[in-house]
Structure 1
Amino acid sequence: MFRPLLSLTISLGLASIVRSAPPWNAQPFSPPSYPLAVRSPYLSAWLPQGSGLALNEVWPEFWGGGVVGWAGFVRVDTTTYSFLGLPAVPGATFAKAVQKSAKFTATQSVFVLQAGPVDLTVTFLSPVEPKDLLKQSLPFSYLSVVAASRDGASHNVAVYTDISAEWVSGDNALRANWTTTTDSGILTHQTRLVNPTVYGEVRDRIQHGSSYYSTAKTANTTFQTGADTVVRANFVSSGALPNTEDKESRAINDRWPVFAFAQKLGAVTSTPSAPVVFTVGHVRDPIIQYIVKGNTLQDRLPYFLTRYATAAQIIADFLPDYTKALGRANAMDAQVRTDALKISEDYAAIVDLSVRQTFGSIELSVSRSSNGAINATDILVFMKEISSNGNMNTVDVIFPAWPAFLYFNPELGRYLLEVLFRYQESGLYPNKWAIHDIGASYPKALGHNDGGDEPMPVEESGNMLIMALSYTRKTGNRYIIDTYGRLLDQWNQFLIEDSLIPNNQLSTDDFAGPLANQTNLAIKGIIGIKAMAEVAGLLGNAGEAANYSSIAASYVTQWETLSASKTQPHRTLGYNSDSSWGLTYNLYSDKLLKFNLFPQRIYDQQTAWYATVAREFGVPLDTRHEWTKTDWEIWTAAIASTKEVRDLFISSVRKYAANGLNRQPFGDWYETPSGRVNGFRARPVVGGHLALLDL
């Protein structure tokens, strides 16, 4: 598969390195990478951007890099144009459609390209259906193509798309095989590895399961499987495919097998055609290996098995549901945008870019009962710590993402936490504080029976208490506190010991290294203690509630003295370090839970200080480095005392996201002087960008 090198021009601006805007209309801006099919950690295809790459100027890529071949052509009368991917067809002649616009919403990326006298509207819809667990569990996404004449005349139009075997592995030297199903009202290409490895990963790509590419079977639909250059040449030259299959199993990079469909739309006028709809998916069973009480391993199944026994049954419902799915998506997009626009246009754009990325990190699972039947009530949700290390259900990744779950459906958040609560309640985990994660490498949730997980004792204990209470408050459901009240109080006892003056330890910003006496970390621990006070009260333990509340209030008073800089008007990064400072984003939980533990003068002082230390692309995380995090900037914006400083943080994140310097899925860690991303990509922590919506 031919993959040309990209040539990106850099121009020097007065204040920073910037790149020119793309030559098409980009709304609300041109992001580092457009989400195309983003539904799970393994069904995750993106369009890299940089300073602006059209839909037909670059191959779609997996979130971690590496091509996932996805090509598209349209034939208009006697001329063929490419509109998706970078297909090379030796010996065949075709033109390139010209991109006119691109936009993203919370659920969709929409591109309009001009193919001679016809406009194509190409829509990538990755449904986000958080209140419908069945629909949310389906690892499938849509591509639709609509054509319309630009010149008032009628034109004969045919549309072609294909995917490659690259969708089933991170190692293109591995052998794959494939089949095509043609005996129903739907055409489906299924691709799998010849020698799969259950629960195995290569370059963050799962090594078992199958990819599926489908479209409706009509009299005008044709198909073909085979070498990329052969299959594509057939459509480029004739506008149709021969309905043949290449059944030779081989390595993915051996003549690059692709799986294609073509559909003749017939005469297209200025009235837009009905959409040609394709679905792409990746299905595997089982999906998660999970440690359970008794130190045994349980195979967790995809939630959709509660309704569908096979992928074919999913596709039979999913494909014809496109129109209704689009309607639901449009309604959700509109609601999210309406809510976010109450803050600002910049904020709405950031939220829109964050939604699919957040939900593309999770998978919904169920188990089997002892008799082998599927237990539809045993629901657990698993999250991959995408790009940073691949851990599972990392507490300090769920925590920054938590605002999205509170906003869309807190029950999904409960199912994420239940994974952690069950394991620690089992007695297998030896530490007295909350665990960091449930497994070092997705999708193996093997726990840490040796207690050797990355130690963030105050961080994770505070996080769990805050999330448990916020869930209980939001839903009125007492399940967490009634079931795990003893465990919550165990973590609270640790916080009482170590929160006010935290020992030398890591916080969630572990890339900055450990630090003793962290001002911001102490905030989290103190709020965690106050959260346990309310939990104790709900559980009928009035004495404990009063005691914990008194401790939290006392700690705040002492904290205010310990954290004050004696030389400048701000809180320090660590006690007794007067010149140091950092974002005190953990105060957000004080506002979220409406405790008002910390006096307003602290918020006012910090707000005023941030305005004095802002850089070109935002406010640094702390004085150790000039980098920052988008999630913590938005959390800090949410608690800023003035609209001006709130908008400073928001506009800085938007400016970074739109600066044209980066071409990977939205990264949350970047340099404030230059706007350069720092390595993280596609992480679910961007769910924290919804923080203002939960206040």
Structure 2
Amino acid sequence: MAWMFSSLLQVSLFCLAISGVSVSGATFSPVLPPSYPLAVRNPYLSAWVPGNQVANLATATPQFWQGQNLTWSVLARVGGTTYKLFGAPAALSSSVAATLMSAEYTSSHSVFTLAARDVATFTLDFFSPVSPKNYVRQSLPFSYLTVSVDAKTASKVQIYSDIDETWTGQSGATVSTFTKSGGVTLFQLSVNGAVQYSENARSQALWGQTILGAKASTGITITHGSGTPSAIRAEFASNGSLSNAAPAFATGNVVAISQGLGSITSGSVTFGIGYVREAAINYLGNARTGYYRAQYPDTLSALSFFFDDYADALSESKTSDSLLVQKAVAAAGTNYSDILLLTTRQAYGGSDLTIPNDTLNTSDIMVFLKEISSDGNVNTLDVLFPAFPIWYVMSPEYLRFLLEPILQYLETGRWKQPFAIHDIGTHYPNATGHDDQVEEDMPVEESGNLILLAYAYITATGNTAWGQDYLSIFTKYADYLVTGGLNEPVQLATNDCCGPLANQTNLAIKAAIALNAYGKLFGAENYSSVGLSFANQLFTNGLGLDSAKTHFKLQYGSNVTYGKDSDYAVVFNIFPDILFNLGTFPSSAFDMLASYYPTQQGQAGVPLDSRVDWSSTFWTHWAGAAGAKQTGGVEVRDMFIDNVWAFMTNGMNTPPFSDRWFAVPGSGGLIGGTGDVVGAFDTWRNRPVVGGHFAVLALDGPGQF
């Protein structure tokens, strides 16, 4: 049977992914992931290389997160011989492909070691800083590539890198600008006549500038060139340098930088790659820009600082990477650590840290998050909510920065509905609100999300004054939950692809916890009482349970479609009750769930509810964390983590960490299909919701880094 073959294939691939095991002569640490992050800083600087190409890194093709190919080549010349290190065409004449020895990823680095015959060893370190408490560093729209060499004998060594207009999002309208000043060599590629705040059909920005740069340092000779790939690469292969010519850019050209180290046995050079948008976000008709521009207002000065900051950024990353491994292993083991390391850059890389473009006022900080891969909305509440554990753990102030754009828009009164808004812009980077009241309504979902996110921020930081500033808004949506939280008309919830339903048990659980949280946060016992009453009806009185009281059903009450005893939902919304120690539901509810979830374990995981054949990486982490402290809870937590780890390492997928995969064979009765392949990813890629993987670590408290 096909599914049996698929299962056996997965098992064999799982074994290959174990840390330290050699695949095609190379080792992968901690595992071989679906895709390695290379330059991942924001929704438009997001370059990856599929894991199935890494064994042949010298000729691998990097990709934008959505899957389109990018040109980014790295060559080295040692003693007159040219070696392909990364992204080079297989047909490049007079060159030798270096052989991959090892590949490793941490929370901020992807590091590849290659052998150039028996002449030298090269290390490529793709480093995208994650520094959420250093707002300048975090907001810089650049990523590092450091190439290090260890030669057997002293030899002349030169390192080369090039890019082309695949990074600009449009072919045939590219303009190149070259600058050399203050030791910085800088190419900027842009789309001539691009409309501000516009994207192409595959989610690449059009109105900014792609940059490739380097900065002079002692003993390093920098040259540059532009032209056809064959001519420029041949020039480097012949001379170990470039002509320093930068003619007008033509379609198909590359821009390139070469760095010569002289005659050495060891050394390194660093390149910078980035995507700059001076007007980065359109917020209610006003431009916002990266925080860094308050200190470094132009690209040249920002890039110069970026290179000067390398040593400090590297030191910070080593400390943070090590601490994350330590904490994750202590919380739930090495599989959990492997997941969090791959999660971190992706979660932070979905956002822009901004200030006003006109005043550059650093006290007016807003973070904008793109709903990557699904529909491109701006600051979607049911994306912020599942992702919030990573910010809760690493940078609680981010929660306020993400909520400010939403709350300030709501404060204008332009959103007229009695429930919270879904997002503040149909498509990134246009955060222009929904004055026409047309959006993807999720009344209970988003009202509960807003209150619980506020609770997370205020309790993590102690900033009660901020809560008082927006008290009227939180009260409005708490009032909505009082009347609508347990009397739900047909509506969407966060997994909107499943369609609308009335009386969703998972939503009612969210309403109960949010009302209790609101009451505790603002000293309003009457709201907590309503929340506790909801919980009592759902669990103690059995409204939301099957007749044997073994699990929560998908829907509660009468006249529902999915209210049979066999129907269920992974009730991830119960997690905040444990995280915040609210006591909305009794411990027996969590014991019940810990006993029930293993009964739904399928071939490759637990389907998210009884309608579907797929599972969710972040929601199952929430469910595992919710029961982790209960009887049998550690086993259930580990089951969910191991399911995600198996999906991440099964060798069947190449997109940047998809958050959804097929857990069981599909059938006509499920929202899925008979052609769905167990273990394969389901549609989504590179979404910041993976921040929810930090749910188990969040149990150890906020602000751990």
The reply to whether TM is greater than 0.5 is yes
Equivalence for 1:548: 527
Equivalence for 1:377: 363
Whether 1:682 aligns to 2:686 is: yes
> How far did residue 429 of structure 1 move?
0.5
Partner Cα distance (2:7, 2:525) in 1: 58
Q: Which runs of structure 2 are paired with 1:382-461 in the superposition (5 Å)?
A: 382-461=368-447
Equivalence for 2:667: none
Partner Cα distance (1:80, 1:15) in 2: 38
Partner Cα distance (1:232, 1:521) in 2: 58
Give the number of aligned pairs.
658
Q: Which runs of structure 2 are paired with 1:257-272 in the superposition (5 Å)?
A: 257-269=253-265
Partner Cα distance (2:295, 2:260) in 1: 34
Equivalence for 1:573: 554
- The one-letter code matched in structure 2 to 1:142 is Y
Partner Cα distance (1:666, 1:136) in 2: 21
Q: Which residue, out of 200, 207, 216, partners 2:198? A: 200
- The one-letter code matched in structure 2 to 1:379 is I
Equivalence for 1:99: 100
Q: Give the 3 Å change call, closer, same or farther, for CA 288–35 of structure 1 in structure 2.
A: same
Partner Cα distance (2:311, 2:41) in 1: 18
Partner Cα distance (1:535, 1:627) in 2: 36
Partner Cα distance (1:322, 1:374) in 2: 24
- The one-letter code matched in structure 2 to 1:390 is G
Render the CA deviation track for 1:398-456: whole Å, top value 9, x for unaligned: 11110111111111110110111111111100111000000001011111112211011
Q: Which runs of structure 2 are paired with 1:59-70 in the superposition (5 Å)?
A: 59-70=61-72
Partner Cα distance (1:86, 1:616) in 2: 40
Once the two structures are overlaid, the 10-residue window that deviates more, 175-184 or 518-527, is 175-184
> How far did residue 585 of structure 1 move?
0.9
Q: Give the 3 Å change call, closer, same or farther, for CA 684–550 of structure 1 in structure 2.
A: same
Render the CA deviation track for 1:230-271: whole Å, top value 9, x for unaligned: 111111233222222222x43xxx2x22111112223343xx
CA contact (8 A) 1:42 1:282 kept: yes
Equivalence for 2:560: none
Equivalence for 1:230: 231
Structure 2 counterpart SS, 1:274: strand
Partner Cα distance (2:612, 2:602) in 1: 12
CA contact (8 A) 1:16 1:616 kept: no
Structure 2 counterpart SS, 1:158: strand
What is the aligned-residue RMSD (CA, Å)?
A: 1.8
Partner Cα distance (2:483, 2:381) in 1: 21
Partner Cα distance (1:11, 1:327) in 2: 46
Partner Cα distance (1:274, 1:324) in 2: 19
- The one-letter code matched in structure 1 to 2:305 is D
Whether 1:283 aligns to 2:260 is: no
Partner Cα distance (1:436, 1:208) in 2: 27
Partner Cα distance (2:116, 2:280) in 1: 42
Whether 1:634 aligns to 2:589 is: no
> How far did residue 324 of structure 1 move?
1.9
CA contact (8 A) 2:53 2:60 kept: no
CA contact (8 A) 1:51 1:660 kept: no
Q: Which runs of structure 2 are paired with 1:105-116 in the superposition (5 Å)?
A: 105-116=106-117
Q: Give the 3 Å change call, closer, same or farther, for CA 42–217 of structure 1 in structure 2.
A: same
- The one-letter code matched in structure 2 to 1:14 is L
Partner Cα distance (1:15, 1:600) in 2: 40
Whether 1:467 aligns to 2:453 is: yes
> How far did residue 579 of structure 1 move?
1.0
- The one-letter code matched in structure 2 to 1:530 is N
Render the CA deviation track for 1:61-104: whole Å, top value 9, x for unaligned: 111121221001112223211111132556x2211111011011
5+ residue gaps, structure 2, are 18-22, 557-562, 665-677, 700-705
Structure 1 counterpart SS, 2:189: strand
TM-score (norm 1): 0.92
Partner Cα distance (1:585, 1:56) in 2: 43
Equivalence for 1:190: 188
CA contact (8 A) 1:223 1:244 kept: yes
CA contact (8 A) 1:221 1:263 kept: yes
> How far did residue 211 of structure 1 move?
1.4
> How far did residue 17 of structure 1 move?
7.7
Partner Cα distance (1:207, 1:422) in 2: 28
Equivalence for 2:499: 513
CA contact (8 A) 1:147 1:268 kept: no
CA contact (8 A) 1:587 1:639 kept: yes
Render the CA deviation track for 1:372-402: whole Å, top value 9, x for unaligned: 5332222111110000000000000011110
- The one-letter code matched in structure 2 to 1:407 is V
- The one-letter code matched in structure 1 to 2:163 is I
TM-score (norm 2): 0.91
Structure 1 counterpart SS, 2:470: helix
Equivalence for 2:337: 348
> How far did residue 594 of structure 1 move?
0.6
Q: Give the 3 Å change call, closer, same or farther, for CA 459–440 of structure 1 in structure 2.
A: same
Q: Give the 3 Å change call, closer, same or farther, for CA 305–15 of structure 1 in structure 2.
A: closer
Structure 1 counterpart SS, 2:361: strand
Structure 2 counterpart SS, 1:571: coil
Equivalence for 1:156: 156
Partner Cα distance (2:551, 2:181) in 1: 70
Render the CA deviation track for 1:297-354: whole Å, top value 9, x for unaligned: 2122222221112010111111122122111111111111111111210001100000
Partner Cα distance (1:313, 1:89) in 2: 38
Equivalence for 1:55: 57
Equivalence for 1:337: 325
> How far did residue 568 of structure 1 move?
6.7
Q: Give the 3 Å change call, closer, same or farther, for CA 183–589 of structure 1 in structure 2.
A: closer
CA contact (8 A) 1:462 1:525 kept: yes
Q: Give the 3 Å change call, closer, same or farther, for CA 72–495 of structure 1 in structure 2.
A: same
Q: Which runs of structure 2 are paired with 1:171-186 in the superposition (5 Å)?
A: 171-172=170-171, 174-186=172-184
Q: Which residue, out of 599, 603, 612, partners 1:612? A: 599
CA contact (8 A) 2:293 2:302 kept: no
Equivalence for 1:305: 293
Q: Which runs of structure 2 are paired with 1:521-536 in the superposition (5 Å)?
A: 521-536=507-522
Structure 2 counterpart SS, 1:130: coil
Partner Cα distance (2:271, 2:328) in 1: 31
